[in-house]
Amino acid sequence: NGFMKIYDISVPLSPAMHVYPGDPAVDIQQTMKIADGDVANVSFLRFGTHTGTHVDAPAHFIDGAMTVDLIPLNLLIGRVRVIEITSKSISREVLAESDLTDDMRVIFKTRNSYAWREPEFVKDFVHLTADAAEHLVENGIKVVGIDYLSVEKYNFVNPDVHRTLLGSGAVIIEGLNLSEVDPGDYELICLPLKIEGGDGAPARVVLRG
């Protein structure tokens, strides 16, 4: 049919979904119901800017930095490399096995993609180390994606990974689900909600390939 396959790598928003500890809970309620005699179905949404599949703007960890509504869309749309990582964390040493010279955008597929199925938030998710963040910046990477709710180790002392990446002007995409996606090159389309002055925003993220 000539159509490229589209992979939806976003997680659905629901009150039952995993939320990073300390973030606002997800609340979705119908405020108008056709079944109750209303003219339309209308819902009320309440959740944090870093809920589910979302983009971290530099302003998330750096006061006064770029907000989510100002991120250039040509960063968030274009060729991306999906790299499968089997180790428990992503370090410079692990990244040295991948050639990043042609890449501006990378997404890491890890065992985290299966953590979404667990009943509770999984604390020992695969994360980046500070030297991995430095390695990505040194290689000119401008978009870094990962398949759980943070690139940073749970219960971090200092948010070095976020500060290194966001401080370089890179954008982070968190909360992806890559369980149906093979490693390789794709086209990334990532469109965060255009929240004025936002530190981040939920996004619908798809791969085409």
Catalytic residue list: 60
Helix, strand, coil proportions of the chain in percent (round to 5)?
20, 30, 50
* DSSP state, residue 73: H
- What tokens appear for 91 in the block? 């370090």
Using CA of residue 117, residue 26, residue 191, residue 197, what is the dihedral sign? negative
Give the burial class of 149: count Cβ atoms within 10 A of its Cβ; 0-12 exposed, 13-18 middle, 19 or more buried: buried
Which residues make Cβ contacts (< 8 Å) with residue 137, sequence separation at least 6? 164, 165, 168, 170
Give the residue from 110, 162, 171 showing the smallest Cα distance to 144.
171
On whether the CB atoms of residues 205 and 39 are closer than 8 A, the answer is no
